[in-house]
């Protein structure tokens, strides 16, 4: 994974590292159980102090994104999204395992048949259900999914996850919430864990703005503003050339036409004043969008 680090900005190098590694994990640029470069290697590669890298790794460990393995190094921590099933198992093997498990627990063949018949008659899925505690992020994800799949999308927080709400829904969570989803959802309810759009992929092919150019970042989601600012500064943009606009504040549109480029999310894309050069940064990766489209084709009415 490529990292950008700006040593002359007011954003601490530790924060630049932490933000980019987290984004690398949630976008699947960094895979579960992948070994990260050593502290010494990262420090030498980017010509920064080893203590800075160590502090970043400690913060990532505290947040649950990586884990230290004694004598081996630092690894991306596997989350619930990677652990449910072994994808190499064939359908017949899965069915065989199910019957073996059911019989071991003293269920009769009649009980199994009745249970399967009842399960198959349950309401088939007809919409996606975005489960996300952050209401602003939830809205952005819902807009992206609806636009990409054409399916109906609803959104709730984890506290609202009841059997009635989950009926007929394909639950969808961000990869960072996979562990919480596994712990919160009723037993037997599966979910789709979405990976974020890759930052390097988003920046690929982008030309560096002119030295005097003013870049605006617009969103109602504070984390979008923070991440965009951190990444752009780490990539070399001067802080005084960056104009961060919280679209929840009155008058956020004022003066946008005078900026060289407006970077925004899928929710705000249609609200940017006409005449602005706009760069919409999607939050959901192309691979996750493809997975959602497959759900629509295979399972939805």
The answer to whether residue 83 scores a pLDDT higher than 70 is no
| Average pLDDT, rounded, for the chain | 87
Instruction: Give the alpha-carbon dihedral of 54, 58, 63, 67, to 10 degrees.
Output: 90
Domain boundaries, the chain: 13-31+33-77, 81-121, 124-196+287-299, 199-280
Task: For domain 13-31+33-77, give its CATH number from 3.10.450.40, 2.60.40.650, 1.10.10.10, 1.10.3470.10.
Answer: 1.10.10.10
- Give the residue-averaged pLDDT of 68-96: 71
Task: Among 16-20, 29-33, 196-200, 240-244, name the one with the lowest average pLDDT.
Answer: 196-200
Task: Determine the Cα angle at 172 with ends 167 and 175, to 5°.
Answer: 150
What CATH number labels 124-196+287-299? Answer: 3.40.50
Q: How confident is the model at residue 151, as a pLDDT? A: 94
Query: What is the distance between the alpha carbons of residues 110 and 129, in angstroms, rounded to a whole number?
Result: 34
Same fold, 13-31+33-77 and 124-196+287-299: no
Q: How confident is the model at residue 91, as a pLDDT? A: 65
What would the two tokens of residue 131 be? 């489960």
With 0-12 / 13-18 / 19 or more C-beta atoms within 10 angstroms meaning exposed / middle / buried, residue 299 is: exposed
pLDDT category at 248 given cuts 50, 70, 90 is very high
* Number of C-beta neighbours around residue 250 at 10 A: 6
Cβ 195 vs Cβ 222: under 8 Å = no
Cβ 260 vs Cβ 215: under 8 Å = yes
């Amino acid at each position: 994974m490529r990292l950008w680090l700006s040593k002359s900005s007011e954003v601490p190098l530790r924060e630049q590292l932490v933000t980019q590694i987290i984004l690398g994990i949630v976008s699947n640029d960094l895979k579960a159980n992948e070994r990260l470069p050593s502290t010494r290697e990262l420090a030498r590669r980017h010509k920064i102090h080893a203590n800075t890298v160590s502090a970043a790794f400690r913060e990532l460990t505290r947040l649950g994104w990586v884990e230290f393995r004694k004598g081996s190094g630092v690894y991306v921590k596997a989350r619930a999204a990677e652990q449910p099933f072994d994808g190499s198992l064939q359908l017949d093997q899965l069915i065989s395992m199910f019957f073996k498990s059911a019989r071991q627990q003293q269920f009769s063949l009649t009980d199994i048949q009745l249970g399967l018949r009842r399960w198959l008659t349950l309401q088939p899925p007809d919409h996606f259900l975005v489960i996300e505690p952050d209401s602003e992020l939830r809205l952005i994800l819902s807009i992206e999914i609806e636009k990409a799949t054409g399916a109906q999308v609803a959104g709730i927080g984890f506290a609202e996850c009841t059997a009635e709400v989950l009926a007929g829904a394909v639950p969808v969570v961000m990869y960072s919430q996979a562990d919480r989803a596994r712990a919160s959802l009723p037993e037997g309810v599966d979910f789709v864990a979405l990976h974020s759009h890759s930052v390097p992929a988003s920046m690929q092919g982008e030309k560096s703005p002119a030295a005097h150019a003013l870049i605006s970042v617009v969103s109602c989601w504070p984390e979008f503003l923070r991440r965009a600012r951190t990444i752009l500064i780490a990539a070399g943009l001067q802080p005084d050339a960056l104009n961060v606009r919280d679209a929840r504040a009155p008058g956020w549109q004022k003066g946008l036409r005078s900026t060289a480029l407006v970077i925004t999310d899928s929710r705000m894309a249609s609200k940017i004043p006409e005449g602005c050069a706009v760069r919409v940064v999607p939050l959901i990766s192309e691979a996750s969008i493809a997975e959602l489209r497959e759900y629509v084709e295979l399972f939805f009415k």
